[in-house]
Structures are given as structure tokens and as C-alpha cells.
């Protein structure tokens, strides 16, 4: 069920959803914003608090699984030196604020609609870091068994009628609607692996704390090169963006989730091939 976490009588709605539920999963929010950054930060923090508070009152709840992000882990001045980054690593709030400026405004056509996308570069990381820290504070106060999944940039086939915010970015690259590709080094992960990690976090009694869910780390220039080689008929931009603060080389340590029996992560070619195939099948390309 989808509930308006900041709407009127929100607590009553969430409480009703949690009735009889043993292991609720609170998933991600969009990492693109169409207006002020407050519309990204407030839902992240208040929404997380609303869910955790309601879970603390639901006698049926045994464990809460929260979707956070590797964005709450990798944004820091020493990301390269501290790599591989793991569950003990946190993004630096001051670092996120330093680079949180509006970087791009572009239009992508979805169906018959022109969608205006504003990228507030590191406000997403700022919001996710604050929201996750608030979740851990509340879980301690309320004595909630909380497990957090930290996925990196999610790629793969569409699971909904419309592309998610991350898939919007890939689609806009393939359609040549962006002037450049991101000057970003980031981990990528297949949506199938993200789903599996949440099932593991929900069902495996050994799961605890944070779980990094990330396959290969790459700069977007590597992704663009791979896509051009496989799909030369798409007008993919060849210019790199000039945004700062998002290109620090780093690596992610997934030892913890693999020790729980998690299978090998899907590769970059697998996740992007599945993504492009899905775009084609659903007539977005």
C-alpha cells in the first residue's frame, strides 16, 4: 500500500497499514526534485520518523527493514583513502552541503508528457544521511530491530509503468536529451539484487545493522563507453559534466551481506542490458 507519509492524519493511515504486519519494509524516495530542496529533505526525515514511531506502537512488528542508500556512506573528503567503504562509513553532512547546488535542469519526454528534472546534486545524500541517522536514533529509543539496506545506483528493468528517477537519467542519456553525462563515480546495482537484499534483511535472523548492496563502482564515462559500443544508434552525449564533489574514486565493501549467503552481484553489462531491453519493450526507446 502507498501512503502519504506527510499528509493529513498520516499516523492513522500508517497505523492501519501496520496492523498485523510483522516485518514492514520502508523503501526509498526519489533522488530528483522538481522544486525546492526542502521538498526532498523534509519527506526523508519526517517520513522515516513517522514510520518508525508507528512501528514502535504496533505489537505485531518484529523487525523493520529500511531502504537507505550508499549516498549516506560515500560522500566524504577521504572517500578514496578510506576505501573500501563499509557499514561503518558515513557521508559527511558538511561535504554534502558544500556541493549541494542545482547542477542541471533538463527535459525528458515520458509518454506524451515533458518531464522537467532538477538535479540537486548532493541534497539527496544530505537527506538520506540525516534520515538514516534519525532512523537509528529512533530504533534505539523504541528498541526496534532495525535492518538497513544501503543500495548504490539502481539499474535494471522497469518494475512500474513509468521509469524511476534513476532510470530517467539513463533514458535521457540514451535519447540524447542531456547535454552531458554526469561527472560521477558511483556504485551500480541490479534491481534484482536490491530486491533480494531486502528479502534477506527481512527473513534472515542473522541480518543486522547496515547492509551495503552494491556491485561494480565506475565513472559514468565508463558506462557511456559501454553503452555506445552496444547501442551505437542512440545519440548518447560524449561530453562529461563539470559538477564537483561527486567523482571521488572509491570502492564498496560488501563482505557483510555476502557472508549471509548473498549470491554474486549481477554485472554492469547485465544490469544495463536489462534496462535498455525494458525501455525498448515498453516503447520508451
Angle of helix 38-57 relative to helix 123-142, nearest 10 degrees, comes to 20
Other CB atoms within a 10 A radius of the CB of residue 201 amount to 26
Q: Residue 282 catalytic?
A: no
Q: Which three cell numbers stand for residue 29?
A: 524516495
Catalytic residue (choose from 53, 128, 140, 230): 128
Q: What share of the chain is helix, strand, coil (3-state, %, to 5)?
A: 40, 20, 40
Say which residue the cell 514492514 belongs to.
24
CB 189 within 8 A of CB 151: yes
HEC letters along 74-97: CCCCCHHHHCCECCCCCCCHHHHH
CA dihedral 253, 275, 109, 99 (to 10 degrees): 10
Residues marked active site are found at: 128
Amino acid at each position: 500500500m502507498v501512503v502519504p507519509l506527510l499528509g493529513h492524519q498520516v499516523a492513522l493511515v500508517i497505523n492501519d497499514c501496520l496492523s498485523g504486519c510483522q516485518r514492514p519494509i520502508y523503501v526509498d524516495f526519489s533522488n530528483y526534485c522538481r522544486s525546492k530542496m526542502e521538498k526532498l529533505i523534509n519527506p526523508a526525515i519526517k517520513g522515516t520518523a513517522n514510520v518508525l514511531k508507528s512501528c514502535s506502537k504496533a505489537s505485531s512488528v518484529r523487525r523493520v527493514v529500511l531502504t537507505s542508500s550508499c549516498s549516506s556512506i560515500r560522500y566524504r573528503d577521504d572517500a578514496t583513502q578510506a576505501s573500501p567503504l563499509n557499514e561503518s562509513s558515513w557521508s559527511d553532512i558538511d561535504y554534502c552541503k558544500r556541493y549541494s547546488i542545482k547542477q542541471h535542469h533538463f527535459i525528458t519526454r515520458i509518454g506524451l508528457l515533458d518531464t522537467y528534472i532538477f538535479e540537486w546534486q548532493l541534497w539527496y545524500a544530505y537527506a538520506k544521511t540525516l534520515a538514516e541517522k534519525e532512523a537509528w536514533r529512533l530504533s534505539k529509543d523504541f528498541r526496534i530491530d532495525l535492518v538497513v539496506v544501503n543500495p548504490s545506483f539502481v539499474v535494471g528493468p522497469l518494475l512500474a509503468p513509468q521509469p524511476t528517477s534513476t532510470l530517467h537519467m539513463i533514458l535521457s542519456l540514451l535519447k540524447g536529451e542531456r547535454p552531458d553525462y554526469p561527472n560521477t563515480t558511483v556504485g551500480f546495482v541490479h534491481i534484482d539484487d536490491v530486491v533480494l537484499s531486502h528479502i534477506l534483511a527481512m527473513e534472515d535472523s542473522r541480518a543486522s545493522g547496515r547492509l551495503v548492496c552494491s556491485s561494480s563502482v565506475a565513472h559514468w564515462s565508463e558506462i557511456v563507453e559501454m553503452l555506445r559500443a552496444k547501442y551505437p544508434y542512440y545519440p548518447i552525449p560524449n561530453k562529461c559534466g563539470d559538477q564537483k564533489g561527486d567523482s571521488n574514486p572509491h570502492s564498496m565493501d560488501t563482505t557483510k551481506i555476502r557472508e549471509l549467503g548473498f549470491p554474486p552481484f549481477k554485472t554492469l553489462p547485465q544490469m544495463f542490458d536489462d534496462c535498455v531491453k525494458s525501455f525498448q519493450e515498453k516503447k520508451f526507446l
